[in-house]
Amino acid sequence: MGFAQRDPEETTKVLTEWFATRAGVDVEITGIDIPIASGWSNETLLVDTTDRRLVVRVEPTKVTVFLEANFDAQYRVMKALSEHTDVPMPALHWFESDTSWLGGRFWVMDRVDGAAPPYSPPYTVEGPLLQRSPSEQRRLWDNGVDAMAKVHRVDWRALALDFLDDRARGATGPAQQLAYYDEYLAWAEDGRRHDGARRALDWLREYQPPALAADDIGLCWGDSRIGNQLFDADGNVLAVLDWEMAALGDPQQDLAWFVLLDDLLSEGQGNSRVPGFPGRDETIARWESATGRRADAFDYYEVFAAFRFTVVMTRLGHLFFDLGVAPDDFAYDNFVSQHLARLLE
């Protein structure tokens, strides 16, 4: 589901001219696919040419899910990781700041030939992952954890990613993140208070961990889940995608989000977990071993993850209502907010 789609023929003409005049390359576009689910955070155009397969990510212009799009920051993070680290990433080629071409800024990167476990319908209910053996399922999960751990081992200072440190909102880490999500929630509520989210925010402030020491600050992927990783047929991670929520902070928040998202797609919706996936204790232990960090505040960051997702769902719920595909109360009562309430209890 998305909003009004671009015309593929017109988009092909625009991109062909852009490649020739702005990128300085002669490209023959043989096909363009605009997924109907595109457009909620970044619009995605899948472009086939005679010699390569590309992805064009376009900045959202009509609606936004997040309080701040940080579109250029996403590109800078991904390009730095692609060129200077062992984090599996697609190659990024061009960034266009002139909005006259596609109606918003955009970047062009290689398309990676892998598959991500689907979110809708969830991989816990149907899809090729369930056809794999338990050992193959476990391999995919473990490789996903290991790829996430590579993000957390990155020397973000050497990569000049300090622009992610939003010091205007407080000290790097929980304080800064809570200030951001407080503003995000107020914007997403759109005049109607979300009592469950506000209760969680009060709890998170009351039990907030100490400020992070300089050596404990790490790069946080943000939307860390296997659904944002592309895997090959053997369960190896080919690419780590979707960096809209990237920040500097405590990488435990990524670990908690990784575990929580799987919980929400399984027990959170009355589904069984994928049989071969290890439990949270094994997952935490693997991450600790891979990063050299301790997940000593995991419970806190699990509540924080459920709160963050509840804020996102508040915003999405209002958008869904405007499209006529969800009741008004969905923004305040959904499987994520219900899970958050259970955690707080």
pLDDT digits 0-9 by tens, 136-154: 999 999 999 999 999 999 9
Question: Residue 4: what pLDDT?
Answer: 54
Question: Residue 38: what pLDDT?
Answer: 46
Average pLDDT for the chain: 95
Question: What would the mean pLDDT of 284-313 be, rounded to a whole number?
Answer: 98
Write down the CATH number for the domain with range 8-110: 3.30.200.20
Residue 341's pLDDT band (cuts 50, 70, 90)? very high
pLDDT digits (tens, 9 = 90+) for 239-275: 999 999 999 999 999 999 999 999 999 999 999 999 9
pLDDT digits (tens, 9 = 90+) for 30-83: 999 988 654 456 789 999 999 999 999 999 877 889 998 889 999 999 999 999
- Angle subtended at Cα 269 by Cα 41 and Cα 296, rounded to the nearest 5 degrees: 75
Question: Residue 120: what pLDDT?
Answer: 87
Helices (H), the chain: 8-18, 71-84, 134-152, 174-189, 195-206, 252-265, 280-291, 298-323, 335-344
Question: What would the mean pLDDT of 125-131 be, rounded to a whole number?
Answer: 96
- Cα 212 from Cα 218, distance rounded (Å): 10
Write down the CATH number for the domain with range 128-344: 3.90.1200.10
Question: Where exactly are the structural domains of the chain?
Answer: 8-110, 128-344
Question: Residue 40: what pLDDT?
Answer: 58
Question: Residue 37: what pLDDT?
Answer: 55
Question: What would the mean pLDDT of 278-298 be, rounded to a whole number?
Answer: 98
- Cα 147 from Cα 254, distance rounded (Å): 12
pLDDT digits (tens, 9 = 90+) for 148-202: 999 999 999 999 999 999 999 999 999 999 999 999 999 999 999 999 999 999 9
Q: Which amino acid is at 238?
A: L
237 contact partners, CB below 8 Å, separation of at least 6: 88, 143, 144, 146, 147, 229, 230, 231
- Cα 71 from Cα 93, distance rounded (Å): 15
Question: Residue 39: what pLDDT?
Answer: 46
Would the pLDDT of 3 be above 60?
no
Would the pLDDT of 1 be above 70?
no
Residue 222's pLDDT band (cuts 50, 70, 90)? very high
Question: Residue 6: what pLDDT?
Answer: 85
- Cα 317 from Cα 151, distance rounded (Å): 31
Question: Which DSSP state fits 115?
Answer: B
CA-based radius of gyration for the chain: 20
287 contact partners, CB below 8 Å, separation of at least 6: 145, 148, 149, 255, 293, 295
Question: Residue 2: what pLDDT?
Answer: 44
Question: Residue 42: what pLDDT?
Answer: 78
Would the pLDDT of 16 be above 50?
yes
Question: Residue 35: what pLDDT?
Answer: 81
Question: What would the mean pLDDT of 128-141 be, rounded to a whole number?
Answer: 98
